Chain A
Amino acid sequence: MFLLRLAARNVFRRRGRTLIISSILVLAVAMFILFESLMVGMMDVSFRNVIDFEIPHIEIARKDYFTESEKSHTLPIGKRFIPEDRLISDVQKLKGYQAMTGILEFSADFISGRYEFPVRVRAVDPDTFNDVFMNSQYIVAGTFLDGNGPGVVIGSRLAEFFDLDVGEYFVMRFTDIGGSFNTIEGEVTGIVTTPHPDINLTTVFVNREHAAPRIGVEDLAVTQLMVRLEDRELASSQSNALMDTLGGNPLQARSYREGADFLVSLEQWGYLETYFLLALFLLVGAIGIISAVVLSAIEREKEIGMMKAMGMGESSILRLFMLEAGGIGVVGGALGCLIGAVIIFFFNTYGFDMDIFMDFSEIGVPVSGRIYGPWNFDAFLLIFVIVVIVSIIASILPALWAARKNPIDAIEKR
């Protein structure tokens, strides 16, 4: 206790130095809290956008559909299936089940005027599709697929690209199941602007009943059966549970995380990058701590000599300097957490416009607009503990150097 009191007073003995060293730690802590929250916020929005607009909690398709769609740029319409009653019943029994919809997905070239653009066409049943996906809520012009007419809904960026508006004509050219070119023609009936950039640029929605005969597939055929659950936390476990029931079936169920494996990798890279930045800041902080302890030991050489002359053990002197370094870590960590909390408060309340930095869709991140940084108190605790531990560890060698000083040399400051 006495050592702790002495260490605490020594920390504030050179306020300027403590402040300078602490400020590096403050920067490390605040930056980590900000980046961590930014990462979590961005990944949360990205996954939510994937779930709400692209792949819901569980996606069921033929195993060879997944394999081929990953290998080829062209979606394999041939790898379709007709959902059996037993499969539908099994899906409905999943924990947290909310809704399901079948879609036929195929590749096409969207043509208007002199231009054409490769798109992913999602032939959907509007009624069930709207129970699983949120696209219809983001309609900015026209309506989202009524009845079974030939109209399509396109994303706003695709509409901008072709300078198309609701009611204007388009042609979609694709290869049907027999290998022949075929087209779907009609009017644009709706335009959506979703938070998922890919949907806005490369996805076209069409009625499945209208598309199926033109592609040459069965009326009930789908390429994927999309399932929405109550909670994304259930996705992996329920996907695995479904896989168990599918057994030797050629179908495969996978969660949105497996479907968005690029995002999962990006998430891991993001965390890696955050921790790398943290390590850099901490390295600078550790060098600061080392120099602070060395300077302190040089300045207090006579004091160390006196303590040793009085019989204070080397381990006690070592502890004293380590406690002082830990104290600087506590000051830096606490101030960093405080500043981090202020940043997160604003970030959490007002959000952060990602579009001012770059178009994240260009690097495959399904996020646009404003993101909000969540509070993650574990991150605060983690970084605080890390900073204090790093400060203490950084002080060991210089503290040992101070503790082993010859008392006579130290008293005479030789």
Chain B
Amino acid sequence: MSLLTLEHVDKTYGQGDLQVHALNGVDLTISKGEFTTVFGPSGSGKTTLLNLIGALDRPTSGSVVFLDKPIGSMNRHEQAAHRRFHVGFIFQSYNLIPVLTAYENVEFALKITGIRDSKKIHSQVTDMLDHVGLSELMHRRPNQLSGGQKQRVAVARALVKHPKLVLADEPTANLDSKTSKEVIEVMLRMNRELHTTFIFSTHDPMVMEYARRMVEIRDGNISQDTER
């Protein structure tokens, strides 16, 4: 079943002679439960594509439809509400809040959805930290965690609200190969256990090997779309 559909999506930055065409007429359909990687050289349009899918940006033309809702034409408040409930983000540099513990960073994602039931929050947060193997370290702050542990906190934070889609922009770029493998395996396990759709961008061939679908982008166009 289709979760997300992009039709003839163009994205242009700048004006006049300084115009940059980041995406040119991209068509893409993502189904529920996919574990998809978007890859390609730097500047090919991977991040722009993820930004449009995650309702962080609007296309210059074309449509982005998420579960029959046109998210490309939403205003910024509607986009924020959409991201709050339906999309989880994992960033390359983790972007954890340094003054909060691992537990509180994950709790934060639930709090902003407006859940007030503290028992429910506690159970969901501890459950998710347990899933990513961090239940022992939940009271540590980010500066007391390794890079891999931080990224696992970020994974837990993205997943704790049970979003329909998780977007990860180069989630292993700052990690060594062993830790990258651990993190991507956690993401894959979450995909299998929770049936959450994952789309992640990467340059790392080892990480790509885990994807069930590989979408290659070159010069703002999808040049290759392979399912395995």
Question: Does more than half of chain A's interface fall in helix, strand or loop, or is it mixed?
Answer: helix
CB of B210 within 8 Å of the partner chain: no
Chain A: CB-nearest residue to B83: A311
How far does the alpha carbon of A311 sit from the alpha carbon of B87 in the complex, in Å?
A: 9
Chain B: CB-nearest residue to A13: B99
Question: Which of A300-308, A328-336, A363-371 lies on the face that meets chain B?
Answer: A300-308
**Minimum Cβ distance to chain A for residue B133 (Å):** 22
How far does the alpha carbon of A312 sit from the alpha carbon of B79 in the complex, in Å?
A: 11
**Minimum Cβ distance to chain A for residue B128 (Å):** 15
Residues of A within 8 A of B129 (CB): none
> Contact at A310–B100, with CB atoms within 8 Å?
no
**Minimum Cβ distance to chain B for residue A17 (Å):** 14
> Contact at B80–A306, with CB atoms within 8 Å?
no
Question: Which of A2-10, A63-71, A224-232, A250-258 lies on the face that meets chain B?
Answer: A2-10
Chain B: CB-nearest residue to A12: B99
Which 9 pairs, one residue from A and one from B, show the smallest C-beta to C-beta distance?
A311-B84, A9-B99, A306-B95, A311-B83, A2-B111, A309-B89, A312-B112, A311-B80, A408-B56
> Which of A313, A408, A411 is close to B80, meaning CB atoms less than 8 Å apart?
A313
Q: Which residues of B, 42-97, contact A by the 8 Å Cβ criterion?
A: 51, 54, 56-57, 76-77, 80-85, 87-89, 91, 93, 95, 97
CB of B41 within 8 Å of the partner chain: no
CB of A245 within 8 Å of the partner chain: no
Q: A302-B95, A408-B57 are in contact. Are A2 and B80 (CB under 8 A)?
A: no
> Contact at B99–A6, with CB atoms within 8 Å?
yes
How far does the alpha carbon of A407 sit from the alpha carbon of B85 in the complex, in Å?
A: 17
Residues of A within 8 A of B56 (CB): 309, 407-408
Q: Which of A2, A302, A316 has the most CB of B within 10 A?
A: A2
> Contact at A302–B112, with CB atoms within 8 Å?
no
> Contact at A311–B95, with CB atoms within 8 Å?
no
> Contact at B54–A309, with CB atoms within 8 Å?
yes
> Contact at A310–B99, with CB atoms within 8 Å?
no
Q: Which residues of B, 113-128, contact A by the 8 Å Cβ criterion?
A: 113
Residues of A within 8 A of B109 (CB): 310
> Which of B95, B104, B112 is close to A303, meaning CB atoms less than 8 Å apart?
B95
In this complex, the interface size class of chain A, counting residues with CB under 8 Å from chain B, is 20 to 34
Q: Mark A1-36, 1 if CB is under 8 A from B, else 0.
A: 010011001100100000000000000000000000
Residues of A within 8 A of B84 (CB): 310-313
> Contact at B100–A306, with CB atoms within 8 Å?
no
**Minimum Cβ distance to chain B for residue A135 (Å):** 67
> Contact at B83–A309, with CB atoms within 8 Å?
yes
How far does the alpha carbon of A316 sit from the alpha carbon of B89 in the complex, in Å?
A: 19
Residues of A within 8 A of B88 (CB): 310
5 additional A-B residue pairs with CB within 8 Å, beyond A310-B88, A310-B112, A311-B87:
A306-B89, A308-B80, A310-B109, A311-B80, A408-B57
Q: A6-B100, A310-B109 are in contact. Are A302 and B93 (CB under 8 A)?
A: yes
Q: Which of A307, A312, A314 has the most CB of B within 10 A?
A: A312
Q: Mark A380-414, 1 if CB is under 8 A from B, else 0.
A: 00000000000000000000000000011001000
Chain A: CB-nearest residue to B87: A311
> Contact at A411–B112, with CB atoms within 8 Å?
no
Q: Mark A288-306, 1 if CB is under 8 A from B, else 0.
A: 0000000000000011011
CB of B10 within 8 Å of the partner chain: no
**Minimum Cβ distance to chain A for residue B48 (Å):** 9
Residues of A within 8 A of B80 (CB): 308, 311-314
Residues of B within 8 A of A307 (CB): 112
Residues of A within 8 A of B83 (CB): 309-311
Q: Which residues of B, 185-225, contact A by the 8 Å Cβ criterion?
A: none
How far does the alpha carbon of A6 sit from the alpha carbon of B98 in the complex, in Å?
A: 10
> Contact at B100–A9, with CB atoms within 8 Å?
yes
Chain A: CB-nearest residue to B93: A302
CB of B170 within 8 Å of the partner chain: no
> Contact at B108–A2, with CB atoms within 8 Å?
yes
> Contact at A6–B97, with CB atoms within 8 Å?
yes
> Contact at A411–B91, with CB atoms within 8 Å?
yes
Q: List 23 A-B residue pairs with CB atoms under 8 Å apart, sorted by A's residue number.
A: A2-B107, A6-B99, A6-B100, A9-B100, A10-B99, A302-B95, A307-B112, A308-B80, A309-B54, A310-B83, A310-B108, A310-B112, A311-B80, A311-B81, A311-B84, A311-B85, A311-B87, A311-B113, A312-B112, A313-B77, A313-B84, A408-B51, A411-B91
